Copies of this chain bind each other. A is one copy, B any other.
Amino acid sequence: MNNVRTPDPDPGWLNEADLYEARRRLPMLYVEAVPVRLDALGYVSEVGLLYTADPDTARLCRSIVSGRVMYRETVRAALLRHLEKDLGTLAMPQLPASPVPMTVAEYFPSPSETGLTDDRQHAVSLVFIVPVVGECEPRQDALEITWMTPEEALSDDVQAEFVGGRGAIIQQALAHVGWGR
């Protein structure tokens, strides 16, 4: 942002240094998706979790589809872009008809009021449950995508593999679809 008078081929986007600074001054808007497989009646049969390296610690961890909303990009376009990036172009995600998210997740550099942390930034994320009907392949930097039952996704072992409190998002998503047992 320090060269605003210089001609800028892509003025609506930030370079790495400016993004680094913006992240210390403004909340960043994110979208996140919990990929699910539904049976014929709409019940969630499986949840799709990515297994990847935490950018802060390089430790392997579970994560969901996640990414930033760009300048002049709609929430829906950002959601589709990150679904394709993380699950591949054959995943056939069913984008929601309503713009209302399942929940709003607020990540803060620790210590965090909400229990969700992201040491790079203050991020506010619109979280959607997204049914997926096609074939998924893990993104380049992910080791795998694992489909597991709701019980497995809520197990202590799997919950311990999330970082920054993100396991709670899975709990909320499954509660939202009526899972509470």
Contact = CB atoms under 8 A, between A and B. Distances in A.
Interface of A: 1-2, 4, 11-14, 18, 21-22, 24-29, 36, 38, 40-44, 69-77, 80, 94-104, 106, 108-109, 113-115, 122, 124, 126, 129, 131, 165, 167-169, 171-172, 175-178, 180-181
Contacts of A72: 108-109, 122
B27 A25 contact: no
Query: In the complex this chain forms, how many copies of it are found?
Result: 4
A165 B178 CA distance: 12
Secondary structure type dominating chain A contacts: loop
B21 A98 contact: no
A74 B14 contact: no
A97 B96 CA distance: 10
Contacts of A122: 71-72
A129 B113 CA distance: 23
